[in-house]
Structure 1
Amino acid sequence: MMANTARLRPLAWWWKKWTKRDWAIAAVAVTAFLFLLSSLSDDPRRDRGPGARLPAADLVDLTLLRDADAKGALCLDGSAPGYHFSKGFGSGFDSWLIHIEGGGWCDSLSSCLSRAKTKLGSSAYMEQQVSFSGILSSEPSQNPEFFNWNKVKIRYCDGASFSGHPQSEPKDKKGRIFFRGQLIWKALMDELLSAGLSTARQAFLTGCSAGGLATLIHCDDFRKLLPKDATVKCLADAGFFLNEKDVSGKDTMRSFYHNVVQLQGVQESLNKDCVASKEPSDCFFPKEIIKTIRTPVFLVNPAYDFWQIQNVLVPEGSDPSESWKKCRLNIRACTSSQLKMLQEKFQCNVWAHMQ
């Protein structure tokens, strides 16, 4: 999911106006899911007309991390992590935009083993080229603020928002699986620092969904890597996951995050004070993470987040009477009371923790 030009307008204002603030958090609500779906297309050919061809600059090759084995930075299946890099030019030669790919999480050994056989767990299955569109586009008309920046898309292959640790890997050699998210993050940053990130004048860390969560987790660490006089900001797109009970009263998402954290040793990547005072899985939720972030961060979330409706608030099996069935699938089918409940859960989670 990439932000398109329409969504970059408020972002452009924010970037220009808030450069001297030490702390800035804002939230943007997209008013309808259908609008969100149409505006987040990753395919830049959408507006080019039938038969149009992508310019070569928009197709960016996959680069595998150098010396991944020696660094211990491995995808779930043991393959080298990958990223796509488009070099900046002109006035953007010393500006960097890094986007972290999303794609959910795995919360059990079996689900991680299954994931390891896909592009979300192995670079062996990743596309060799991807098109850079939206916030990664090189077209000024589509991406006026960042078109000539150094742009990186980090591929997601660890299943824990780049926060897992190898000490949690199962000792049984059968079906070997690697939990190296934190090592992948560090190794990728080291490689990008050597490619010019270390002298960045301004840098923007972004991510979508599980990549948005990774952005929040690593935002302050990212800032520490860069020159003190550099302008650094972070943006989490559709990454504010709710710590809320589902309609049956169960803590479905909290239980799921608990399994992810326990399985991959994620607590080692989370805020130490939070982990010391709370259940570690609570510290994996954005509402806790943003309490301690010092770097300016921008939150973008839809008013109707269909993934969270279907997986957090009304997951499978939580609605035996099927009173939520229509609303779960289509916001236009929600009753006024259902819309009120959804609105309260989303607004309370975001705004209550941004004061």
Structure 2
Amino acid sequence: MLYSAVPKGAVCLDGTPPAYAYSKGFGDGSTNWVVLLEGGRWCDLEEETCQNRSKTYYGSTDHEFPIDGILFKGILDSNSQANPDFYDWHKVFVHYCDGSLFLSDVDQVDPTNSLTFRGGRIYNAIMEELLNKGMGIAHNAILTGFSAGGLSTILHCDRFRALFSNTTRVKCVSDSGFFIRGEGELANQSERHFAGAIAANELRALLPRSCTSKRDPNLCLFAEYLVEDVATPLFIAESAFDSFQIGYNFILTIPGLDPIQWRNCSRFLEECNATQIEIIKDFGPIFKKTLMKLDNSSSRGVFLDSCYLHTHIFQSYNWIKYPVLDNKSVGKAIGDWFYDRSAFQEIDALNLCPQSCYPK
């Protein structure tokens, strides 16, 4: 728990202190840092989502936050075989307990439900804490995150870079945070969700000016309108058949489909019937088209596989073993890109159907 953040008003939705877990670097990695922002959706204007969130792990640290029990895996693994490029770094897991992508900064406590919207203050307080631990003199540093934490990484990437001197190699890795707008009814559904999050957390004035100066602010949580304005080198790890985006937005655009019937199919492809697989298959081209519209920045890494999954970097199997593009796992691709051993921009164009990428 970071109790020193409370006087600064940097608290979770329910007013409890924020928290992070930390593993000290060693050996050659003792001057390197990787900071991971946890994922976990967001809260919006749908009935009581913020209030309900405040009573759970994702809105509080009163709900059994396992500060000493966070399993450091994937990019945070301390095993040199499982994580050869980053195993000995200082590693930080930042708990996500605000529901605003670490952005909100509302002075007034919600008088109806006693909710505090202070995600931006949490981010600032934890960064200040890490700088006091020595992160500011790092030789190498990575800001990363998965799911909502991946989108938070895109939003905070340049601010993270600004914490260091020009001699520090700083890069960002967004995993499964590229939430697309899509087209037609998918766009309408996606826009409703993000517009609700922006309104509920009072984010409108806090969104990147580089985006809001050019378009409707309600579009400025879609990664496709953000990443080209990120100056810091950024790696995008994604699946064209992102299981969360399909289950959270895409299936809601299918006439007559009951979301409850999707539950068995929501994670494992083997539990999907033929009709559901066809629906999943339809999402892939939309995602690929969106990502391929981006400019070909030489500093940007891309790993777009065809797995039916959501998140890579905090999953031991998906980090170092499978999927593989150009003979590299996502962990190997990110390591080569970070250390400038080789560029990596690979999109799986061969698999037009979703693939099962979990251990058998």
Does 1 or 2 have the higher relative contact order (CA < 8 Å, sep 6+)? 1
Provide the residue aligned with 2:255 in structure 1.
Answer: 319
Query: What is the Cα deviation at residue 144 of structure 1?
Result: 0.7
Indicate the percent of aligned positions where both proteins have the same amino acid. 33
Note if contact 2:43-2:99 (Cα within 8 Å) is conserved in structure 1: yes
State the Cα deviation string for residues 41-68 of structure 1 (Å, max 9, x = none): xxxxxxxxxxxxxxxxxxxxxxx12422
CA separation of 1:85/1:259 partners in 2, compared to 1, >3 Å: closer, same or farther?
Answer: same
1:280 matches 2:220: no
1:333 matches 2:274: yes
Provide the residue aligned with 2:8 in structure 1.
Answer: 71
Provide the residue aligned with 2:35 in structure 1.
Answer: 98
Provide the residue aligned with 1:193 in structure 2.
Answer: 131
Q: How does 1:11-160 map to 2 (within 5 A)?
A: 64-108=1-45, 110-125=48-63, 126-129=65-68, 130-160=70-100
CA separation of 1:94/1:268 partners in 2, compared to 1, >3 Å: closer, same or farther?
Answer: farther
TM-score (norm 1): 0.75
CA separation of 1:336/1:213 partners in 2, compared to 1, >3 Å: closer, same or farther?
Answer: closer
Note if contact 1:210-1:239 (Cα within 8 Å) is conserved in structure 2: yes
Note if contact 1:165-1:181 (Cα within 8 Å) is conserved in structure 2: yes
CA separation of 1:349/1:112 partners in 2, compared to 1, >3 Å: closer, same or farther?
Answer: same
Note if contact 1:107-1:256 (Cα within 8 Å) is conserved in structure 2: yes
TM-score (norm 2): 0.74
Query: What is the Cα deviation at residue 313 of structure 1?
Result: 1.3
State the Cα deviation string for residues 277-302 of structure 1 (Å, max 9, x = none): 32212011111110200000000111
Amino acid at match of 2:223: P
Amino acid at match of 1:224: A
Measure, in 2, the Cα distance between the counterparts of 1:148 and 1:226: 20
Note if contact 2:186-2:250 (Cα within 8 Å) is conserved in structure 1: no
Query: What is the Cα deviation at residue 250 of structure 1?
Result: 6.2
User: Any stretches of 5+ residues in structure 1 without a counterpart?
Assistant: 1-63
Measure, in 2, the Cα distance between the counterparts of 1:123 and 1:307: 25
Amino acid at match of 1:128: I
Query: What is the Cα deviation at residue 341 of structure 1?
Result: 3.5
Query: What is the Cα deviation at residue 265 of structure 1?
Result: 1.8
Note if contact 1:168-1:265 (Cα within 8 Å) is conserved in structure 2: no
Amino acid at match of 1:155: H
Measure, in 2, the Cα distance between the counterparts of 1:72 and 1:249: 37
- Give the secondary structure class of the aligned counterpart of 2:213: helix
Measure, in 1, the Cα distance between the counterparts of 2:173 and 2:118: 24
1:207 matches 2:145: yes
Amino acid at match of 1:278: R
Query: What is the Cα deviation at residue 303 of structure 1?
Result: 2.5
Runs of 4 or more off by more than 4 Å in structure 1? 325-332, 334-340
Provide the residue aligned with 2:287 in structure 1.
Answer: 346
Q: Which moved more, 1:203-212 or 1:128-137?
A: 128-137
Amino acid at match of 1:220: D
1:231 matches 2:169: yes
Note if contact 1:72-1:183 (Cα within 8 Å) is conserved in structure 2: yes
Measure, in 1, the Cα distance between the counterparts of 2:276 and 2:117: 43
User: Any stretches of 5+ residues in structure 2 without a counterpart?
Assistant: 297-360
Measure, in 1, the Cα distance between the counterparts of 2:204 and 2:295: 23
Query: What is the Cα deviation at residue 268 of structure 1?
Result: 3.1
Q: Which moved more, 1:100-109 or 1:252-261?
A: 100-109
CA RMSD of aligned residues (A): 2.4
- Give the secondary structure class of the aligned counterpart of 2:170: strand
- Give the secondary structure class of the aligned counterpart of 1:144: coil
- Give the secondary structure class of the aligned counterpart of 1:131: coil
Measure, in 1, the Cα distance between the counterparts of 2:76 and 2:257: 44
Provide the residue aligned with 1:298 in structure 2.
Answer: 235
Query: What is the Cα deviation at residue 273 of structure 1?
Result: 3.4
Aligned residues: 287
Note if contact 1:205-1:215 (Cα within 8 Å) is conserved in structure 2: yes
State the Cα deviation string for residues 106-140 of structure 1 (Å, max 9, x = none): 10372111111111000111123212112111111
Query: What is the Cα deviation at residue 336 of structure 1?
Result: 9.4
CA separation of 1:224/1:180 partners in 2, compared to 1, >3 Å: closer, same or farther?
Answer: same
- Give the secondary structure class of the aligned counterpart of 1:240: coil
